[in-house]
Amino acid sequence: MAFDIDMIQKVYAEMAERVDSAREVVGKPLTLAEKILYAHLWDKTPGKAFERGVDYVDFAPDRIACQDATAQMALLQFMHAGKPKVAVPTTVHCDHLIQAKVGADKDLRRANETSNEVFDFLGSVSNKYGIGFWKPGAGIIHQVVLENYAFPGGMMIGTDSHTVNAGGLGMIAIGVGGADAVDVMAGMPWELKFPKLIGVKLTGKLSGWTAPKDVILKVAGILTVKGGTGAIIEYFGEGAEAMSCTGKGTICNMGAEVGATTSTFGYDASMDRYLRSTGRADVADAANEVKEYLTGDAEVYANPEQYFDQVIEINLDELEPHLNGPFTPDLATPISRMKEAAKENDWPLKVEYGLIGSCTNSSYEDISRAASLAKQVSDKKLRTKSNFTITPGSEQVRYTIERDGLIDTFNKIGATVFANACGPCIGMWDREGADKEERNTIVHSFNRNFAKRADGNPNTLAFVGSPELVTAIAISGRLDFNPLKDKLINEDGEEVMLDEPRGYELPPEGFAVEDAGYQAPAEDGSGVDVAVAPTSERLQLLTPFQPWDGKNITGARLLIKAFGKCTTDHISMAGPWLRYRGHLDNISNNCLIGAVNAYNMKTNFVKNQLTGEYGGVPDTQRAYKAAGIPTIVVGDHNYGEGSSREHAAMEPRHLGVKVVLVKSFARIHETNLKKQGMLALTFANEADYDLIQEDDTFNLVDLEEFAPGKQITIEVTHKDGSKDVIKTNHSYNEGQIGWFRAGSALNLIAAGKA
């Protein structure tokens, strides 16, 4: 489906030279991750060996993928870049805005009614700027990418944390914020701290009840939710090669759950088979030509301790099926220990729902193995005890499993088939009775299981397992059912055991689809109108931010001095606000409403220095803006940690905040502030945070000499007339000061100066 074989061949044509020269510079054999990273340097040749976990490096990704929730603001921004087309192949996927309730057809119809204007906007903007558009119902971004766009040795960024799924096809695929995606769409480099490397050696072979999912559930138990931070996980060994490509995708997908930058596997026969079965024989042929560059050097895998920062070894012959949870994906329990664990923790044993599918686990292999269990329900005269749902990852998978009778098999156990969309995985599940907030247990094959993630009920205990284990547990209706050992009682009162799941790696009769749901962009989009109604409450065209007037900022008032942790969630909350992701003015009504005011320890309750009254942060800030008074936000350590969402930087900028002054920044948020033309400063002396009082006025007395490495002085006048002069640091380079002067990075690109 419109994958770009020319682009892929170009990547491969340059691969050998780039990797060979990198090997010379680094001076030792290379891992696969290093090969792909060095082959995608913006500067083409490395001037030096990069220090892992230290050096920031500019890259040139091959592709971009965006989902509908994050694409809105990204594309609204891109419209300002003044470019006729995106600079690298890009796709948009409508999957997050479809609520699961009764079943695919009705749910999809309802989503098309409620989010029509968003889909229309995304469709028209994609058409105009050369972006491939996957309509609602076409599938979940990561499954569609794996089926159509991922390719061994490629580098991709995507505006969703599970973009990493494409590592299953040997890519370096990384989740980013919209601002990063916009830069790359506009033809700019993409910066990443050169990652550390974790090697996972898989010995033995999966068999019986154990599935690829159990590998990552085990890894999550070892590494915990933070253990992969700043690292790429590279899997290798005989166990990796014996596994299906889609199974590898599942493992890479959930690398996000251990905080890894991404995960990947070396090119092998399973990838060749998957490429051919998904209509990409030419990609497989091209990959085979350069295959030694699409996997780590043999010496690396022979002596991994010498080349990786950390090595984990897992013997697949001994690996047990796992259930991870509740409330965190790293609480790993092997199935043989579940009886005890459930008892110790008082987890409700009755399982209300088993849910399979999602971007993580809806391959043909997953579904056919799960169906082999569902089929045993009638064969062995059993009855399925839990409710059961399937969320196919793409229309291609859905169509194929329907053709092959697998949906019919699931229907016979009373399953509900949801739309090919995120649905219950992202809380878009209108589960009956969830509002009663009763304590209950569900099992699913998705990736995340934080409180409220699936149905909004904080008392739903969600356990993550392979689709086959989820199906077996749903049939039994019990969390502590161990299908390897336990018997079930059938309608005739006989004890029966479920046979091991069996399935097909790929559909024996090939994949098929009638309408994949893809819309190719116009060849020449210059005449395409992008429709945004001025009355819309969900979408708003952006107005470029004003350039800096070149003068010192004087008379600025304090909007809020945030106490303690202030993450991007505190600055721009999620939940119901997701609805306004494409409307900057409306979503700005959540600006900093989660931040704690250091003077009264309350949230969304700050002093308006113009009236002396207290009110919400956004309203107070709008009053300052209306009066033409600049403002400053003061914060603590690691300000802006959390997600990379650019709204957290755009909202204060839109509302007229001029400066964010903190003890330290989370780096991505600091960059986002710079990109939006905001002044991001840090206290030279951290203790000066304590000098800031509620009624202070601020003068930046030497901003006119703004230059790299030069401190900025702020004169702070307190209510009693006394003054403190504080020094602040910044990390702007020349180019970034250019963004500040222009009003934003995009303004500079639009002016053709970036």
User: Which residues belong to the active site?
Assistant: 95-96, 160, 448, 643, 645
The one-letter amino acid at 367: I
Stretch that binds ligand F3S, among 418-426, 534-542, 547-555, 598-606 (CB under 6 A): 418-426
Q: How far apart, in whole angstroms, are the C-alpha atoms of residue 504 and residue 664? A: 52
C-alpha neighbours within 13 Å on the C-beta side of residue 337: 12
User: Which one among 182, 231, 425, 475 touches ligand F3S, defined by CB under 6 A?
Assistant: 425
Q: How far is CA 552 from the centre of its chain?
A: 39
142 part of the interface to ligand F3S, by CB under 6 A? yes
646 part of the interface to ligand F3S, by CB under 6 A? no
Q: For ligand F3S, which is the closer residue by CB, 41 or 355?
A: 355
Q: For ligand F3S, which is the closer residue by CB, 140 or 232?
A: 140
398 part of the interface to ligand F3S, by CB under 6 A? no
Task: Compute the least distance from the CB of residue 142 to ligand F3S, in Å.
Answer: 6
213 part of the interface to ligand F3S, by CB under 6 A? no
Stretch that binds ligand F3S, among 58-66, 421-429, 437-445, 580-588 (CB under 6 A): 421-429
CA distances from 309 to 31, 197, 198, 228 (A): 11, 5, 6, 11
Q: Which of the residues 511 through 530 are near ligand F3S (CB under 6 A)?
A: none
DSSP H or E run through 659:
strand 657-662
Q: List the strands of the sheet with 63-67, edge to edge.
A: 172-175, 155-158, 63-67, 90-93, 132-134, 518-519
Task: Compute the least distance from the CB of residue 231 to ligand F3S, in Å.
Answer: 20
Torsion over CA: 484, 489, 490, 494 (sign): positive
Q: For ligand F3S, which is the closer residue by CB, 393 or 743?
A: 393
Stretch that binds ligand F3S, among 75-83, 136-144, 228-236, 263-271 (CB under 6 A): 136-144
SS3 (DSSP) at 378: helix
Q: How far apart, in whole angstroms, are the C-alpha atoms of residue 197 and residue 307? A: 8
94 part of the interface to ligand F3S, by CB under 6 A? no
User: Which one among 88, 355, 422, 595 touches ligand F3S, defined by CB under 6 A?
Assistant: 422
Q: DSSP letters along 262-329, please?
A: EEEE---HHHHHHHHHTT-HHHHHHHHHTGGGSS--HHHHHSGGGTSSEEEEEETTTPPPEEE-SSST
Residue listed under structure tokens 């596994």:
243
162 part of the interface to ligand F3S, by CB under 6 A? yes
Stretch that binds ligand F3S, among 187-195, 217-225, 422-430, 731-739 (CB under 6 A): 422-430
Task: Compute the least distance from the CB of residue 252 to ligand F3S, in Å.
Answer: 12
643 part of the interface to ligand F3S, by CB under 6 A? no
Task: Compute the least distance from the CB of residue 312 to ligand F3S, in Å.
Answer: 24
68 part of the interface to ligand F3S, by CB under 6 A? no
Q: For ligand F3S, which is the closer residue by CB, 231 or 426?
A: 426
454 part of the interface to ligand F3S, by CB under 6 A? no
Q: For ligand F3S, which is the closer residue by CB, 141 or 632?
A: 141
Stretch that binds ligand F3S, among 46-54, 331-339, 419-427, 679-687 (CB under 6 A): 419-427
Q: How far is CA 175 from the centre of its chain?
A: 5
Torsion over CA: 481, 485, 488, 489 (sign): negative
CA distances from 665 to 229, 636, 708 (A): 17, 8, 18
Task: Compute the least distance from the CB of residue 359 to ligand F3S, in Å.
Answer: 3
Residues near ligand F3S (CB under 6 A), total: 13
688 part of the interface to ligand F3S, by CB under 6 A? no
**Contact track, ligand F3S, 564-593, x by CB under 6 A:** ------------------------------
Stretch that binds ligand F3S, among 14-22, 363-371, 420-428, 500-508 (CB under 6 A): 420-428
SS3 (DSSP) at 728: strand
* Calculated CA dihedral for residues 100, 104, 105, 108, nearest 10 degrees: 50
Cβ neighbours of residue 99 under 8 Å, at least 6 residues apart? 107, 110, 111, 423, 428, 429, 430
Task: Compute the least distance from the CB of residue 250 to ligand F3S, in Å.
Answer: 11
Residue listed under structure tokens 């510079």:
25
Cβ neighbours of residue 466 under 8 Å, at least 6 residues apart? 210, 211, 212, 213, 214, 321, 361, 366, 445
Task: Compute the least distance from the CB of residue 691 to ligand F3S, in Å.
Answer: 44
Q: Which of the residues 324 through 383 are near ligand F3S (CB under 6 A)?
A: 358-359
User: Which one among 140, 598, 650, 749 touches ligand F3S, defined by CB under 6 A?
Assistant: 140
Q: For ligand F3S, which is the closer residue by CB, 31 or 358?
A: 358
Q: How far apart, in whole angstroms, are the C-alpha atoms of residue 234 and residue 312? A: 10
Task: Compute the least distance from the CB of residue 416 to ligand F3S, in Å.
Answer: 17
User: Which one among 65, 108, 141, 192 touches ligand F3S, defined by CB under 6 A?
Assistant: 141
Is the preceding peptide bond at 507 cis, omega within 30 degrees of 0?
no
Q: For ligand F3S, which is the closer residue by CB, 81 or 422?
A: 422
Q: For ligand F3S, which is the closer residue by CB, 73 or 584?
A: 73
Stretch that binds ligand F3S, among 27-35, 134-142, 230-238, 517-525 (CB under 6 A): 134-142
Q: How far apart, in whole angstroms, are the C-alpha atoms of residue 599 and residue 715? A: 21
Q: For ligand F3S, which is the closer residue by CB, 449 or 572?
A: 449
SS3 (DSSP) at 407: helix
Bridge partner residues of 440 (DSSP): 460
Task: Compute the least distance from the CB of residue 498 to ligand F3S, in Å.
Answer: 27
Q: For ligand F3S, which is the closer residue by CB, 60 or 464?
A: 464
Task: Compute the least distance from the CB of residue 721 to ligand F3S, in Å.
Answer: 55
Q: For ligand F3S, which is the closer residue by CB, 578 or 701?
A: 578
Stretch that binds ligand F3S, among 138-146, 467-475, 480-488, 690-698 (CB under 6 A): 138-146
First to last CA, the chain: 33
Q: DSSP letters along 582-610, please?
A: B-HHHHGGGBTTTSBBTTT--BS-EE-TT
Q: How far apart, in whole angstroms, are the C-alpha atoms of residue 598 and residue 26? A: 49
User: Which one among 88, 342, 426, 470 touches ligand F3S, defined by CB under 6 A?
Assistant: 426
Tokens of 253: 């997908």
Tokens of 266: 């070396």
Task: Compute the least distance from the CB of residue 358 to ligand F3S, in Å.
Answer: 4
CA distances from 264 to 39, 105, 192, 267, 274 (A): 15, 35, 17, 9, 16
Task: Compute the least distance from the CB of residue 532 to ligand F3S, in Å.
Answer: 25
480 part of the interface to ligand F3S, by CB under 6 A? no
Task: Compute the least distance from the CB of residue 104 to ligand F3S, in Å.
Answer: 15
User: Which one among 68, 160, 395, 651 touches ligand F3S, defined by CB under 6 A?
Assistant: 160
Stretch that binds ligand F3S, among 135-143, 588-596, 636-644, 656-664 (CB under 6 A): 135-143
Q: For ligand F3S, which is the closer residue by CB, 416 or 744?
A: 416
Q: How far apart, in whole angstroms, are the C-alpha atoms of residue 390 and residue 305? A: 41
475 part of the interface to ligand F3S, by CB under 6 A? no
User: Which one among 90, 262, 400, 447 touches ligand F3S, defined by CB under 6 A?
Assistant: 447
470 part of the interface to ligand F3S, by CB under 6 A? no
Q: How far apart, in whole angstroms, are the C-alpha atoms of residue 479 and residue 532? A: 48
The one-letter amino acid at 354: G
Q: DSSP letters along 536-567, please?
A: -SSB----PPPPP-SS---SEEEEEEB-S---
* Calculated CA dihedral for residues 70, 71, 76, 82, nearest 10 degrees: 130
Positions in the binding site for ligand F3S (CB under 6 A)? 95, 140-142, 160, 162, 358-359, 422, 425-426, 446-447
